[in-house]
Amino acid sequence: MPPPARKAYALRLDPALFAAIERLAAADLRSVNGEMECLLREALARRGVKLEPAEPRPRGRPPKEEDDDAA
């Protein structure tokens, strides 16, 4: 089952802002993209915008497909 589609969006940021987000992401053991999503969700929550919780993304390697003909 493929993961739910995610919206891709090109974003231009000031280099200093990106560096600050990159440091936060490293401290939280997240990717920069994951940190930005978290920051946006927190900002929306502070403004009273209600979102459905994010669906957890599958972690780890996908299971190997069994080949019946290989045996």
Q: Are 22 and 36 in contact (CB under 8 A)?
A: no
Q: How far is CA 8 from CA 5, 58, 66, in A?
A: 9, 19, 33
In this prediction, residue 69 carries a pLDDT of: 58
Instruction: Print pLDDT tens along the chain (71 aa).
Output: 566 678 888 999 999 999 999 999 999 999 999 999 999 999 999 999 988 877 777 778 888 887 655 55
Mutual angle of helices 32-46 and 15-27, in 10-degree steps:
100
- Evaluate if pTM is beyond 0.95: no
